[in-house]
Amino acid sequence: MKITSIENYLDTLHPDLLWWTHEVMSYIEKTYDTYPVVLFYQRPTIIIKKQLFIMLGGGKAHFSLYTTDFEYVEDHKLLKLPKVKYGKSAILFPLEKRELIDEAFKVIDEVIKRSQ
């Protein structure tokens, strides 16, 4: 099924992933209203600059924040947070570790701050 709206995307999510996605989208909308959440590559995304974005995603066991700030992701790995995993452009939070939601907010804050 092709995702054509953020609402379509949200309808496809497992409840635990939906919780993370909803919390992060709400945080972005309240804190960074100049960066609207848009559908980009069939995922909720905030486009910060032409080549810089933060995309929300996830899977069965994790919620992901993808960013084109690859250096930030590499720096974040140095924190060695328990249970947090990484991809080249992604920080993956385990769904069952809801207490890490503030870390997800911090990632968004720091990527945006670095862009300014």
pTM: predicted TM-score of the whole model, two decimal places: 0.93
Q: Assess if residue 49 is contained within a domain.
A: yes
Would residue 108 count as lying in a domain?
yes
Residue 2: exposed, middle, or buried by beta-carbon count in 10 A (0-12, 13-18, 19+)? exposed
Domain count, the chain: 1
Residue 33 lies in a domain: no
Q: Among all chains, which residue has been given the structure tokens 């945006």?
A: 112
Does the pLDDT at position 1 exceed 80?
A: no
Task: Give the Cα separation of 39 and 7 in Å (integer).
Answer: 10
Q: Which residues constitute the domain of residue 55?
A: 42-116
The predicted pLDDT at position 36 comes to: 87
pLDDT tens across 52-90, in order? 999 999 989 999 999 999 999 999 999 999 999 999 899
pLDDT in tens, 7-49: 999 999 999 999 999 999 999 999 999 998 999 999 999 999 9
